[in-house]
Amino acid sequence: MTATATAVDPAPAALPDPETDAPRTSDLIVVGAGTMGAWTAYWAQVGGGRRVTLLDAWGAGNPRATSGDETRITRAAHGHDRLYTRWSRRALQHWQHFQEEWGVQLFEPSGVLWFGGRQDGFEARSAEALTAEGVPFEWLQPAEVAARWPQIAVGEGLQAALFEPQAGALYARRGIQATVAAFQREGGTFALAGVRPGRGDGGRLREVVDADGRTWSGDQFVFCCGPWLPRLFPQLLRDVIRVTKQDVLFMGAAAGDDRFRAAALPAWADFDAAYYGIGATPDNGFKIAPDRLGPLFDPSRGDREVDLESVRLARIYLRRRFPDLADAPVVGTRVCQYESTPDGHFLIAPHPGYDNVWLAGGGSGHGFKHGPRIGEYLVRRMDGLPEGAQEDDDERRFRIGPRLPGSTARTAGDEMASGWELF
């Protein structure tokens, strides 16, 4: 019997006492409890036959984590790239399934609306892929958008809109905490520890170690460390992953105005303007965030304060599409980060120096929603199981390098500059 989904957050994952917890040996150690790490640990644990330990420096869904924000968009539109369309759909099936099984609301079925300013733009390319994959969508003319959602201004630069009715928003922090809690219920071990690769020999990593010298030994290791991944493997990933500061704002509508809530307004994205947003949820105001790359950012020590320029630019965009919010108060802020690869593809690859280590990261601003599918894929790859006709292409796109600059699945097309410094 499945439980009825509610909006109640799951109980926090139980953590051992760091002073008394002894070093342990596991079949698999997963470092990083974001969307990639939590789902990898979960699938590995429920697959049976493994003792899995999941480690995270600050805990599941913590404020520094890329997966620690309140909400994320889930959508199938990824331009012409049909693989990410398929992956997002399969991942959404998992989010919806476990929402029912775990009794925690993980998905807000608001739909996603893409504002199109060109006839041959991202939306048109996405429509071709959605059609090929059998994903429902609608083309809406500006007048139709205005009729359905009068709170959206359609006059400036909008030629058409692509609407994905089965897409929406995911509750990010809640989803990660629920996944880690389920992993523990299945017998997995979760510990609070900031670790780095330790002793290795014979082409195999033997352990990870924290700043106090505590060690965790394992037969296999997966590092899913988000913005910390290039810091753990600087020589290998210096030119592969760039970490940037991304400012998120939550705007407060007028008293009694429910037009900007997620129940009344789709999540939305504007490819050419490089903005996206999500309607207000019970815990937050109307979300708006830029999808262009921000300045380089230290995820451990960086202050989580948004820049005044981010507020100014957001108000300019709101005045164009959501004018009734242009002068609304900012009722909340969030500083997240992107960890972007030059081509926007994820990194899911074996470490070239260790035959028992895998690396997963480079979410590039579109990774969260894919978490269940990434974990599923990674566990199958570790087990040597085939992934079908696309397997060779997958290995090429997810390799460590070389990678050419480009834009594949995010809304912004910023190219990564060479020679950046790691924090």
Q: Is the pLDDT of residue 419 over 50?
A: no
pLDDT digits (tens, 9 = 90+) for 46-77: 998 899 999 999 999 999 999 999 999 999 99
Residue 301 · residue 284 · CB < 8 Å: no
Mean of all residue pLDDT scores within the chain: 91
Query: What pLDDT does 421 receive?
Result: 42
Query: What pLDDT does 394 receive?
Result: 73
Query: What pLDDT does 386 receive?
Result: 72
pLDDT digits (tens, 9 = 90+) for 99-132: 999 999 999 999 999 999 998 899 999 999 999 9
How much is the pTM? 0.92
Q: Partners of 78 in the beta sheet? A: 80
* Percentage of residues of the chain with pLDDT beyond 90: 84
pLDDT digits (tens, 9 = 90+) for 154-178: 988 999 999 999 999 999 999 999 9
Give burial (CB, 10 Å; 0-12/13-18/19+) of 331.
middle
Q: Is the pLDDT of residue 230 over 70?
A: yes
**Res. 395 pLDDT band, cuts 50 70 90:** confident
**Res. 387 pLDDT band, cuts 50 70 90:** low
Q: Is the pLDDT of residue 7 over 70?
A: no
pLDDT digits (tens, 9 = 90+) for 338-353: 999 999 999 999 999 9
Query: What pLDDT does 48 receive?
Result: 81
Query: What pLDDT does 384 receive?
Result: 87
**Res. 11 pLDDT band, cuts 50 70 90:** low
Report which of residues 123 and 414 the model is more confident about: 123
**Res. 385 pLDDT band, cuts 50 70 90:** confident
**Cα 103 → chain centroid:** 22
Residue 358 · residue 349 · CB < 8 Å: yes
Q: In what order do the strands lie in the sheet with 330-340?
A: 138-140, 160-164, 112-116, 267-270, 275-278, 286-290, 242-251, 330-340
Radius of gyration (Cα) for the chain, nearest Å?
21
Q: Of 226-230, 370-374, 418-422, which range is least confident?
A: 418-422
Helices (H) and strands (E) in the chain, counts: 10, 21
C-alpha span between 291 and 280 (Å, rounded): 19
Q: Of 26-40, 345-359, 373-387, 396-410, which range is least confident?
A: 396-410
Query: What pLDDT does 49 receive?
Result: 85
Query: What pLDDT does 414 receive?
Result: 44
Query: What pLDDT does 50 receive?
Result: 93
For each of the domains in the chain, give its residue range(s) and CATH number, in order of start: 109-169+242-338 (3.30.9.10)
Q: Is the pLDDT of residue 423 over 50?
A: no
For 79, other C-beta atoms within 10 Å of its C-beta total: 22
Query: What pLDDT does 409 receive?
Result: 56
As a whole number, mean pLDDT of residues 311-331 equals 98
For 356, other C-beta atoms within 10 Å of its C-beta total: 18
As a whole number, mean pLDDT of residues 223-233 equals 97
- What b-and-e string marks burial along 245-277, b requiring 16 or more CB atoms within 10 Å of the CB? bbbbbbbbbeeeeebbbbeebbbbbbbbbbbbb
Q: Is the dihedral of CA 179, 182, 186, 192 positive or negative?
A: positive
C-alpha angle 194/195/200, rounded to 5°? 180
C-alpha span between 241 and 235 (Å, rounded): 11
Backbone angles phi, psi at 165, to 5 degrees: -70, -20
Output the six-digit token pair for 160.
């058409």
Q: Before 290, cis peptide (omega within 30)?
A: no
As a whole number, mean pLDDT of residues 276-289 equals 96
C-alpha angle 395/401/404, rounded to 5°? 105
Q: Is the pLDDT of residue 22 over 50?
A: no
